[in-house]
Amino acid sequence: MQVVAKAYWLPKKGHEEAEYEDAFAPDSVTLETDLFRCAIADGATEASFSKQWARTLVREWENGSLTKEQFVADISRLQENWRRGFTEVRQRGKLAWYAEQKAEFGAFAALVGFVLHHDRHEAGADEPGDSEAGNSAVQDDIAEPADSAAQEAPAEQAKVPAEAPQLEVPWWEAVAVGDCNLFQLRGGKLLTAFPLTTSAQFTGGPFLVSTRGTAGNDLLRHLRVAHGDWQPHDTFYLMTDALAAWFLRCCEAGEQPWDVLEQVLGTADPQEEFSSLVRGLREQKLLHNDDVTLLAIHVDQALVAAAATAPPLIAWEEPAADDTGAAAPADPTDTPQGGEQES
Amino acid sequence: MPYAAEISRSNPSCFLFLIDQSASMEDPFGSDGTTKPKADGVADAINRLLQDLVIKCAKSEGIRDYYHIGILGYGGDDVTPAFVGDLTGQDIVPVSKIAESPARVEERTKKVDDGAGGFVEQSIKFPIWIDSVANGGTPMCQAMEQANKILDKWTAEHPKAFPPVVIHITDGESTDGDPKELMEHLKTLKTKDGNVLLFNVHLSDNPNATQLTFPDNPNDLPDQYSQLLYEGSSVLTPFQRKVAGEMGFEVSEKTHGFVLNADLPLVIQALEIGTRPSNLR
């Protein structure tokens, strides 16, 4: 598959570029690959060293050292590395008293990690491969420790799920902690919003991935995972919270914000146009003053013509009874698939 | 909407502490059950609060000047900035200066959970910016005059700022006149985002004084000193009401920024409600 991915970003108004605390990986790529990994993260302003933590998370995700399958154990390893590094810095005595005390509170970041797979999983005989229900994503159940005693289990033993989805199609998977969001667009419609599906869910105080703590089960409880199919010419956007909240507010008002973004990204100087768009939205009070990051991913644009004649590509699972609905929205104003899912 | 201004380095806010350092502050806290003088407890609470504010503003690259902070002590015959060490004599300083200039850093101990149902003592660094002082009379009017002067200037220089918060801690008996008008005037100072907010913390020795936290009426006040401080205090902003409610205090739309007969933990809680940022950027 051909993947074109590029990040656009702007620090919050009144801040220097060096103070931007979001992170993304990769920056800009065009490549032929069977497996593509990318991520964005939003370091918490209230903490110190959040920028470094956010960068660590996206870098580790991109290079495959942080994975969905071993998410909690991988984070535990990164926390241990972080602690070791912090101890060394402290022992060198270079930190001011306040920097040391602040750092002890830990650094925090929201994260969305995303993977595109070109290979097709072998489907089981009773997979709902030809359902008409839609092409939407599915939020996966997370396998928590089976008994109550396991609630005390060390983080390394906590299992993150997630059977590999059995799809007969090229597919994607994603993990999320906090309020960075993934959007999937197809044919001028919003197909997926993950993990948050309404602007009201951006409350400003989500659980975040911390450098501290052995509370693997807490992390597991707040980890969201999802998967779905993709088709040539699909677009994926990864956004940090301010932009994602604006995007969903537009959708809720019956607008198509992806048209605005596509127009901006299609210009000769898309970063400058993106910055200009963000500044304008801030001035109109339509966008919260925060660091803003967009990672735009386009897949197999060249294969659009072939896709037009291809059979439908579907990833569908029976939703749980209390799900908010797994069907794809019929039009852009519908609520996209997804929703909070306690597991 | 008032009290909604973003607090940022380009638009900082201000805290001004007024501390009674008269001789009567040598008396122990009324309901604390300890013999610790009020003056010691207040100095501890302020030093701890300054430490919290510095840490709140600390980033990996240094301190962001979200706040300007002043501390006036009044006792004897006059009012003076209460900072000791390098900041001696300065009335309002940015929080980065405070971070860089504690007079000294003491080693203290605190009890922490040992993870096995008990507690262990852990050594912590405790920076000191003000010392415990208790001396002479209670020139509250002079203190209020000085506060008016400082904040009149500050609000003029920071017209868009989140309004300054004044936290006044006293055992209540002014010896240089009635400060009522001066308190009222202080509350008329304003930025475009709202009026100055005045919190009064009254450490009363009156045997009839019960502990009152953030009351919304004056019915249970024991004497005219409490009455004066209650009426002089501002009504809490919606955000402060929310924080107080989260801490378990009963609040209404008339709740005043007033605490009576507080022990040290309550002084600390009152300080936190007064200084919790609602929209730090």
What was the ipTM of the complex prediction?
0.79
Between strands A28-32 and B190-191, the pairing is unpaired
- Among A97, A108, A282, A283, pick the best mutation site for testing chain B contact (most B Cβ within 10 A): A97
pLDDT in tens, A46-105: 888 899 999 999 999 999 999 999 999 999 999 999 999 888 888 887 788 888 888 888
Q: Where are the domains of chain A?
A: 2-320
Alpha-carbon distance B272 to B266, whole Å?
10
Chain B: nearest CA to A61, how far in angstroms? 23
Q: Do A12 and B281 touch (CB under 8 A)?
A: yes
Angstrom CA distances, A285 to A242, A290, B8, B9, stand at 11, 12, 17, 20
Are A220 and A188 in contact, with CB atoms under 8 Å apart? no
pLDDT in tens, A303-340: 433 333 333 333 323 333 333 322 233 333 333 443 33
* Block residue for tokens 């598959």: A1
How many Cβ atoms from other residues are within 10 Å of residue A175's Cβ?
Answer: 28
* Per-residue confidence (pLDDT) for residue A332, from 0 to 100: 32
Query: Which of A97, A101, A289 shows the shortest C-beta gap to B281?
Result: A289
State yes or no: pLDDT of A145 exceeds 50: no
Are B139 and B73 in contact, with CB atoms under 8 Å apart? no
The secondary structure of A16-27 as a DSSP string is: -GGG--EEEE-S
**CATH 3.40.50.410, domain B13-274, yes or no:** yes
Chain B: nearest CA to A265, how far in angstroms? 29
- Residues whose CB is less than 8 angstroms from the CB of residue A83 and which lie 6 or more positions away in sequence, other chains included: A211
Alpha-carbon distance A157 to A217, whole Å?
10
The class that CATH gives domain A2-320 is alpha beta
Both ends of chain B: CA-CA distance in Å? 18
Alpha-carbon distance A11 to A243, whole Å?
12
Q: Mean pLDDT of residues grouped by 10 in chain B (281 residues)?
A: 86 94 86 76 91 88 92 93 96 96 89 77 88 94 97 97 94 92 97 95 86 91 94 92 87 93 74 65 47
- Cβ-Cβ pairs closer than 8 A, A with B, add up to 42
Q: Would residue A287 be called left, alpha or beta, if left means φ above 0 and alpha means ψ between -120 and 50 degrees?
A: beta
* Block residue for tokens 């901006």: A264
Angstrom CA distances, A278 to A8, A115, A240, B139, stand at 11, 27, 13, 53
- Residues whose CB is less than 8 angstroms from the CB of residue A196 and which lie 6 or more positions away in sequence, other chains included: A179, A181, A202, A244, A248, A338, A340
